[in-house]
Amino acid sequence: MFEQQKVDLNLNDFANVVKIIDLVSRRGAFGGDELADVGILRNRFAMFVNQNMPKEQPAPQATEVEKEEE
């Protein structure tokens, strides 16, 4: 069997989830009936990042995928 490794998540992981949700929603990847649930989850992740980001640390930089979208 495979040995499970401990997964360590950080604020950048959560910030990237928000960016991915924003990106795929702009591409139309969610159906209308899914948007409310996705939006609630996205906002919860965004609030968590904002509440836990150290005040002196700048916001995470845009990902390469996000830069390509601009």
What pLDDT, on a 0 to 100 scale, did the predictor assign at position 21? 95
State both tokens at 51: 């509440």
In a domain, 69, yes or no: no
- Look up the pTM and report it: 0.67
What pLDDT, on a 0 to 100 scale, did the predictor assign at position 19? 95
In a domain, 31, yes or no: yes
In a domain, 67, yes or no: no
Give the domain extent around 44. Answer: 9-51
In a domain, 44, yes or no: yes
Q: Which residues contact 62 (CB under 8 A, 6 or more apart)?
A: 19
More confident residue, 1 or 7: 7
What pLDDT, on a 0 to 100 scale, did the predictor assign at position 24? 95
Residue 38 to residue 65: CA distance in whole angstroms: 20
Q: Which of 15, 19, 22 is nearest to 51 (CA)?
A: 15
Residues 42-69: tens digit of each pLDDT: 999 999 999 998 887 566 666 555 555 5
